[in-house]
Structure 1
Amino acid sequence: MTDLDAEAPPLDALAEPTVRVRAGWIGTFALAWFAIWMAQLVPVQLLLPAQIDAVLHPDDWTESVLAFGVISGIAAVFTIVAYPLTGALSDRTASRFGRRRPWILTGSVLFALALVVLGFQTELWAIGAGWVAATIGFCIVTAALTATISDRVPVGQRGFVSGWMSAPQSIGIIVGLVVVTMLVTDQAAGYAVLAVALVVLVLPFLRQPDAPLVGAERERVSARGILSSLWISPRRYPDFGWTLASRVLVSIGNALGTSLLLYFLMFGLGDANAEDDLLILTLVYMVFVVLASLVFGKLSDKLGRRKLFVFVAAVLQAAAALLLALVPDLGAAIVGAGLLGLGYGCFLSVDQALATQVLPDAASRGKDLGIMNIASAVPQAIGPLLGALAVVATGSFTLVFVLSAAAAILGGLAVARVRSVR
């Protein structure tokens, strides 16, 4: 028995999993997500805005915010294509190493290389191109990695395991911020450290088994077939449609509430220690995301309920955003970070479990979850642009947080329309 077969995979790559995954699988899964989130979100929270601001040196600070928003919006366009396309390709991959592992490795390497190159860019167009390449790599690796939940994890364990997909998000942000603000303060070196950590920490998951497609399961690969499969009718699969809509709205709410925090501290509050205070806010947010992800994910499995938890999560996020809109000071921001972390942590784990239960076809899990991932990734990319436009229009951050609250509430209401899952 080889290392790759240390834990026996299902006999059929398309079978609904019934055997609970072990601690080793969950541990390497969580470690991979920790590295991915660190490589994605530390640039979004700090490195990329600071790099853009250093290049522009604008007289009006809103120009820097707008440039960051535009670059994020362009990256979102590529996300819309990359997620379902690479998910569909992984569904059809007939490698002896399985369907998902080749794409996890490919995406990680592309993501890491793009980050290294990005760190040396000093012109706005080059920064944008580097971030687009990094985003494509992120989409490739996460489309395949997310699909392993449906491939390997039984329904009764998915809330808990999904918690280990979301909990590392906050840990990755805080660890990454500490590294690039206290240990490696050079811009290029900061990006490089994130890139190396990404590849090194994803590798252990590649030792986990990944059942290959057998002859009868292999579908002929054609451009027309892949493109036609990217459309999922909301009339035919309404629960998938409502879950997708809910995720889009809640994710937009979260993106509006978090993506401009550095600018909010610097220009909204006039905070002279904005980077240090961002670290404090992120730490508070992290603690509550981790607790909520693991506790509510497991509780959702135990009770066999998903929709109630998603709605409560949306309400908590809306409360956090309204607090920042009505009481714009550092103390309120710390409380808001706790509420936002509690709500988003609950949402991340339970909504991911819900998404795996409304997929139309076992043969296209990667593609379908890739489409579902768009609902998370695109809002995170366009959130800064929407927020920037709101700031430019009003000259303050109040409208940003009001929009964040409204989107979260609408997302909570949308999930109530799901019928096949409690």
Structure 2
Amino acid sequence: MSKVTKNINGSVSSASAAIAALPTRRVGGRWVTFFALSWFGVWIAQLTPVQLLLPLQLEELLATTDWIQNVLGFGTISGIAGAFALVAYPLTGALSDRTTSRFGRRRPWIAAGTAGFAVSLLFLGFQHSLVGIGVCWVAAGIFFCVLTAALTAAISDQVPVNQRGYVSGWISAPQAMGIIAGLVLVTTLGLGTFGGYTLMAALLVILVLPFLLLVPDAVLPRGVVSPLTWRSLLEGMWISPRAFPDFGWTLLSRVLVNLGNAFGTSLLLYFLMYGLQVADAEGSLILLTLVYMVFVIAASLWLGRLSDRLGRRRVFVFFASVLQATAALILAFVPTLGAATFAAALLGLGYGCFLSVDQALATEVLPDQLSRGKDLGIMNIALTVPQAFAPMLGAVLVSLSGGFTLLFLVSGITALAGALAVGQVRSVR
């Protein structure tokens, strides 16, 4: 082997080791602030349509007095979008792992995801047909995956293990704030669907820009990661649970807990309107969301940091899953607005803890640090796809039973199964 070849191979090996190495330098307040703002923009743009704008848009379009048909229409569109996310997440992650742009690996995908997501929302506001709404929501979902796959990979790229619980809390806390902020803005300003979607798109762009423009992103040298082929992509989609059991158990627990949470929350507006038949369903939704928000923020930031200090993840995720199951069972067997308010507090406490600590747990069970974008993309499937399919599956449960009791019962059982799954993780305390 020539000296030049040895030097090239040595340089590639050194670069590969540097990229794969776990970060050790703690990120500062500026980094965390911009990261949190980005997720606030993401969640306000994603969840305001899910909780309010999209159901109302479909209800106006379908113009039927059969509320179950409204639920099924919403669930079908959401489920189709979820199917596309199955491919979008790992594909985007794999591509960002190999991106050698002078702007960095993740930054181009953050930019593309933000722009595409915002434009999709704008076009969604113009739609007056079921097909048009479906196409635009699928596009919005794909670009949501592009953006969030790159943002979550930034944690593994730049945040040390003993800070990941706290930093991951700044994914879940903005989620709660995004829901309530979006609902309050749309209802207080009296915005229609077009005005609501336009405002969400503008806020998304404004809030992501600081992280996109001001946070450095390491440049990947050419030749460090092998080129992406269809074969390598398809092979990379399968991570053997036999070879990497902790990755498999963590993924399964994520799917189950997020599915249980989505069953309990995605049809909440319909539950208030048609299950409890409250006089002001939108106002009650804001009240429950506000309670949920307070407990999500407190749990995600406090318990995420406590998890870092104790160096423990599993017990927190188990506790969080049980709390969510308890909240769902309360909704199933005590269907009153007062019980729903108490359940919202428990759900917020459990889900806030789960989102922050489980995200940190996910980054610690990755099989290969050179493909962490792709592997976290697979993990993100377990975060987003259950939320997309839950309205459709929940609508079927509501339709079969003629009410919401079975829906919340399944929600509780699913969350409990997630708690049992995370208990099988062995490499992380």
Equivalent positions of 1:38-77 (< 5 A) are: 38-77=44-83
CA distance in 2, matches of 1:336, 1:233: 37
Residues 12-411 of structure 1: pairs in structure 2 closer than 5 A: 12-206=18-212, 207-411=214-418
Please state whether the residue corresponding to 1:386 is helix, strand or coil: helix
Amino acid at match of 1:76: G
Give the TM-score taking structure 2 as reference length: 0.95
Work out the CA distance in 2 between the residues paired with 1:18 and 1:134.
35
Contact 2:93 2:375 in 1 (8 A): yes
Distance 1:319 1:129 in 2: 37
1:106 is displaced (CA, Å) by: 0.2
Q: Is the 8 A contact 1:94 1:212 kept in 2?
A: yes
| Cα distance in 1, alignment partners of residues 338 and 191 from structure 2 | 27
User: Aligned partners of 1:284, 1:22: CA distance in 2, in Å?
Assistant: 30
Report how far residue 226 of structure 1 moved: 2.3
Contact in 1 for aligned 2:44/2:200 (Cα 8 Å): yes
Q: Encode CA deviations 1:210-235: one digit per residue, 9 max, x unaligned.
A: 11112352322323322322211111
**C-alpha deviations, 1:129-148, integer Å up to 9, x for none?**
11000000100000000000
Contact 2:257 2:414 in 1 (8 A): yes
Deviation at 1:348, TM superposition (A): 0.2
Is the CA contact 1:12–1:211 (under 8 Å) kept in the aligned structure 2?
Answer: no
Displacement after TM superposition at 1:408 (Å): 0.4
Shift of 1:357: 0.1
The SS at the match of 1:417 is coil
Distance 1:286 1:375, change over 3 A: same
In 1, Cα distance between the equivalents of 2:195 and 2:65?
Answer: 28
Contact 1:13 1:212 in 2 (8 A): no
What is the rounded CA distance, in whole Å, between the counterparts of 2:260 and 2:52 in structure 1? 20
Structure 2's unaligned 5+ residue stretches are 1-15
Pair 179,201 (structure 1): closer, same or farther in 2 beyond 3 Å: same
The offset of 1:14, in angstroms, is 2.7
- TM-score norm. by structure 1 comes to 0.96
Whether contact under 8 Å (2:276, 2:336) holds in the other structure is: yes
| Structure 2 residue aligned with 1:3 | none
Q: Which amino acid aligns with 2:76?
A: V
Alpha-carbon contact 2:94-2:228 (below 8 Å) kept? no
- Deviation per residue, 1:84-109 (Å, 9 max, x gap): 00010000101111100000010010
Return 5+ residue gaps in structure 1 as ranges.
Answer: 1-9
Separation (CA, whole Å) in 2 of partners of 1:223 and 1:322: 44
1:127, 1:215 → 2: CA distance?
41
Q: Is the 8 A contact 2:313 2:358 kept in 1?
A: yes
Count of equivalent residues: 413
Amino acid at match of 1:137: F
Distance 2:102 2:327 in 1: 48
1:259-282 superposed Cα distances (whole Å, 9 cap, x missing partner) = 000000000011120001100000
Runs of 4+ in 1 over 6 A off after TM superposition: none
CA contact (8 A) 2:61 2:128 kept: yes
* Separation of aligned partners in 2, 1:303 and 1:405: 28
Q: SS in structure 2 opposite 1:218?
A: coil
Contact residue 94 and residue 218 of structure 1 kept, 8 A: no
Alignment root-mean-square deviation, CA: 1.1
Aligned letter for 1:317?
Q
Deviation at 1:386, TM superposition (A): 1.2
Tell me which structure has the larger Cα radius of gyration.
2
Supply the AA of the counterpart residue of 2:240. S
CA deviation profile, 1:64-88 (whole Å, cap 9, x unmatched): 0011111111011001010000010
Distance between the aligned counterparts of 2:145 and 2:222, measured in 1?
28
Match of 1:5 in 2: none
CA contact (8 A) 1:314 1:412 kept: yes
Q: State percent identity of aligned pairs.
A: 63
